[in-house]
Amino acid sequence: MGPHLDYTFHAMGSEVRVLIGPRLRRTEPSPLNAADRERRFVLEFARRLSRFEPSSELSALNRDPRAVVPASQLLRAAVRAGLWAAERTGGLVEPTLVRALERAGYATSLDGAPPASLREALAAAPARYPARPDPRSRWRDVTVDDEAGTIVRPPGVLLDTGGTGKGLCADAVACRLAGYTRFLVDCGGDIAVGGVGPQLEPYEIDVEHPLTGEVIGRIKLDRGGVATSGVNVRIWQRPDGAYAHHLLDPSTGRPAWTGLIGVTAIAGSALEAETLSKLARLVGPDAARRVLADRGGVIVQDSGEVELVGSLVCRMTAPARLLVAS
Amino acid sequence: MATAAATTSGKRPHGAGPDGVTVTLLTVAAFLATLALLASQMRASPARPAHRVVVVRRVYETRVVETVVGGAGGSSVTQSVSGTPATALAPVPTTRSS
């Protein structure tokens, strides 16, 4: 595979990892300097788009009483990505669920907080059913005007770009690394791959089981993105004893228990993979297979059973039907 | 008169050192001896290229680990720089929930 720089840091509540191969032109900075540059970019990306930071651009947008709000290119891109995901998923993955997230208990960052037990949460969870979009949701009233440099939305509609943020960030960094022979950008498990190198020798990417943490398969990816949506990390127990997680059913505003605890999707970009993995997890097992049929993916049911979907080139490293001991 | 005649005949007096012919012969002999010695040494190592030792040093692994705790944003940084395939050194990237 040749020389590679492997660079890891913490941002966006997750581990971010960048692999960079040799540069294509001498004018490009060295891989180490490029990685340093991208670390600054990611930290800036996270700082400006955090809904937990009162000084962030996103928080300023959500506080602004005007309907038309001037916004930076980065904020416009992030909101546009959220709207794209909402359109792509028919409103299931949408960026206007801030108040519902806060009611569910996700009002502050969970970075560093130990997650609640997924097994206990599954045992206490209500009946499983697919999530549905909310026909009254206001995301369709939000528009991004790049010519005017503004975001237009009804005052009081709060936006959260976190649902698509890591995928977008991975894609953005990947674009910035176009001057290198090969690169992989991993933003908390949402991964973008690019360059000419992987098309000859693809990257291998492990898939982690959400219950056991063990590697259940290895995917070869030559370009595009792969992402996993699960409920094993951002999960907590509320004061009333109920368990909650961050993937909400838009129709109820409550955490979605759909029968799936994890979905891995492959797509043309990390943003699309993140969107598809969330969509597949929200629609439940049957529809998830259809969502993933095109590029392939992995679904993990509440029972812990693992299933490969589509024409996924994946070498299983654990029994495909992994049953979880009680 | 006899002494003067001997001097003018060109004969060197006894005890004045070797004559020119002897010196020339000795010089030629020494040269030939040296030449023979060199020739014998060259025969001992016939037409081989000079044996040169080339040291090739390749750095197969350079690993830099830098940890910043409590820096801006409370982030920590770990850098690993390697000259070998990343997969051979570091864990394979993992897609996971976050």
Query: Nearest CA to CA, how far is B74 from chain A (Å)?
Result: 9
Give the pair of three-digit tokens for residue A53. 């930071």
> Are residues A191 and B93, on separate chains, in Cβ contact within 8 Å?
yes
Q: Where are the domains of chain A?
A: 5-316
Residue with tokens 């992030």: A78
Give the pair of three-digit tokens for residue A161. 């770009």
> Are residues B98 and A190, on separate chains, in Cβ contact within 8 Å?
yes
Residue type, B77: V
Residue B83 pLDDT > 90, yes or no? no
3-class DSSP assignment, residue B12: coil
Q: How confident is the model at residue A137 (pLDDT cuts 50, 70, 90)?
A: very high
> Are residues A1 and B80, on separate chains, in Cβ contact within 8 Å?
no
Q: How confident is the model at residue A314 (pLDDT cuts 50, 70, 90)?
A: low
Q: Which residues of B touch A232 (CB under 8 A)?
A: 97
Rounded distance, CA A325 to CA A303, Å? 9
Q: Which residues of A touch B94 (CB under 8 A)?
A: 186, 189, 205-208, 215
Q: Which residues of B touch A31 (CB under 8 A)?
A: 81
Residue with tokens 């891995």: A264
Please give the class, per CATH, of domain A5-316: alpha beta
Pairing of strands A254-255, A260-267: unpaired
% of residues, chain B, pLDDT over 70: 41
> Are residues A205 and B85, on separate chains, in Cβ contact within 8 Å?
no
Are B98 and A166 in contact by the 8 Å Cβ rule? The answer is yes
Q: Give A186's Cβ-side CA count (13 Å radius).
A: 30
pLDDT in tens, A84-107: 999 999 999 999 999 999 999 998
pTM: 0.78
Rounded distance, CA A298 to CA A288, Å? 10
**pLDDT (0 to 100) of residue A3:** 73
- Comparing alpha-carbon positions, the chain A residue that sits nearest to B61 is A3
> Are residues B79 and A7, on separate chains, in Cβ contact within 8 Å?
yes
Q: For A262, phi and psi rounded to 5 degrees?
A: -165, 140
Give the pair of three-digit tokens for residue A69. 């709000």
Give the pair of three-digit tokens for residue A110. 């969970």
Lowest mean pLDDT of A243-252, A310-319, B87-96, name the range: A310-319
Rounded distance, CA A9 to CA A202, Å? 24
Element (H, E) at A127: none
DSSP state of A236: E
Pairing of strands A203-208, B94-95: parallel
pLDDT in tens, A18-56: 999 999 999 999 999 999 999 999 999 999 999 999 999
Residue B72 pLDDT > 90, yes or no? no
Rounded distance, CA B73 to CA A71, Å? 23
Are A47 and A60 in contact by the 8 Å Cβ rule? The answer is no
> Would you give the distance in Å from CA A40 to the centre of its chain?
20
Instruction: Compute the average pLDDT of residues A6-19.
Output: 94
Q: How confident is the model at residue B3 (pLDDT cuts 50, 70, 90)?
A: very low
pLDDT in tens, A209-267: 999 989 988 899 999 999 999 999 999 999 999 999 999 999 999 999 999 999 999 99
Judge whether B8 is closer than 8 Å to chain A, CB to CB: no
Q: For A46, phi and psi rounded to 5 degrees?
A: -65, -40
Lowest mean pLDDT of A4-13, A151-160, A266-275, name the range: A4-13
**pLDDT (0 to 100) of residue B43:** 79
**pLDDT (0 to 100) of residue A260:** 97
Residue type, A61: L
Judge whether B94 is closer than 8 Å to chain A, CB to CB: yes
**pLDDT (0 to 100) of residue B15:** 61
> Are residues A219 and B98, on separate chains, in Cβ contact within 8 Å?
no
Q: Which residues of A touch B63 (CB under 8 A)?
A: none
Q: In this complex, which of B80, B87, B95 lies closest to A7 when CB atoms are compared?
A: B80
Q: ipTM of the assembly? A: 0.86
Q: Give A20's Cβ-side CA count (13 Å radius).
A: 31
